[in-house]
Amino acid sequence: MKRSSATHHNGIPKSLILLTVIVGTFLGRLDQTIVNLALPKIINEFGITVSSAGWIATAYILANAVFVPVWGKLGDMIGRKKVYVIGFTVFIIGSILAGLAWNLSSMIVFRIIQAIAGSADYPTAMSIIAVTYTDDKERSQALGIWSSSFAAAAVFGPLIGGPLIDHFGWRSVFLINLPVGIVGLLMAMAFIYESRSENDRKIFDLKGALVLGVSLSALVLVLDKGLDWGWLSLNSFLCYVTVLVTLLYFISIEWNHPEPIVDLKFFRNSVFVQALLNNFIVFMGMMGSIFLLPVFAQTFLGYDATQTGFLFMPMAFMMMLAAPIGGRLSDKVQPSYVIAASTAIAALGLYFFAGLDARSGPMDIILPLGVMAFGIGFGMAQRTNIIAAAVPREEVGIASSVLALARNIAGAFGIAVFGTMLQNSINSNVLSIARYSSFHGKSPAQYAQYIGLISLKAQINAYNTVFIWSAFIVFIGAVLALWIKSVKMDPGVKVHVEG
Q: Encode pLDDT of 257-297 as tens digits.
A: 887 877 788 888 888 888 889 989 998 888 878 878 877 88
As a whole number, the mean pLDDT across the chain is 82
pLDDT band at 305, cuts 50/70/90? low
Q: What is the pLDDT of residue 367?
A: 94
- Three-state secondary structure along the chain? CCCCCCECCCCCEHHHHHHHHHHHHHHHHHHHHHHHHHHHHHHHHHCCCHHHHHHHHHHHHHHHHHHHHHHHHHHHHHCHHHHHHHHHHHHHHHHHHHHCCCCHHHHHHHHHHHHHHHCCHHHHHHHHHHHHCCCHHHHHHHHHHHHHHHHHHHHHHHHHHHHHHHHHCCCHHHHCHHHHHHHHHHHHHHHCCCEEECCCCCCCCHHHHHHHHHHHHHHHHHHHHHHHHCCCCHHHHHHHHHHHHHHHHHHHHHHHCCCCCCCHHHHHCHHHHHHHHHHHHHHHHHHHHHCCHHHHHHHHCCCCHHHHHHHCHHHHHHHHHHHHHHHHCCCCCCHHHHHHHHHHHHHHHHHHHHHCCCCCCCHHHHHHHHHHHHHHHHCHHHHHHHHHHHCCHHHHHHHHHHHHHHHHHHHHHHHHHHHHHHHHHHHHHHHHHHHCCCCCCCCHHHHHHHHHHHHHHHHHHHHHHHHHHHHHHHHHHHHHHCCCCCCCCCCCCCEEECC
The proportion of the chain whose per-residue pLDDT surpasses 90, expressed as a percent, equals: 22
pLDDT band at 139, cuts 50/70/90? confident
Q: Which residue has the higher pLDDT, 11 or 485?
A: 485
Type of residue at 122: Y
Of the segments 75-89, 231-245, 281-295, 400-414, which one has the largest average pLDDT value? 231-245
pLDDT band at 4, cuts 50/70/90? very low
Q: What is the pLDDT of residue 238?
A: 95
Q: Which residue has the higher pLDDT, 104 or 492?
A: 104
Residue 197: φ, ψ to 5°: -65, 145
Closest alpha carbon to 66 in 321, 410, 409: 409
The proportion of the chain whose per-residue pLDDT surpasses 70, expressed as a percent, equals: 90
Task: Name every residue whose Cβ is closer than 8 Å to that of residue 341 and which is 6 or more positions away in sequence.
Answer: 378, 379, 478
Q: Which residue has the higher pLDDT, 429 or 247?
A: 247
> For the chain, how many residues are written?
499
Quote the CA–CA distance of 175 and 161 in Å, as a whole number.
12
Q: What is the pLDDT of residue 243?
A: 93
Question: Per-residue pLDDT tens for 182-208?
Answer: 999 999 998 988 887 666 556 777 788
Quote the CA–CA distance of 330 and 379 in Å, as a whole number.
10
Span 352-377, average pLDDT: 90
- Cα–Cα distances in Å, from 115 out to 61, 112, 215, 406, 409? 7, 5, 18, 17, 15
Least confident piece of the model among 142-146, 276-280, 486-490: 486-490
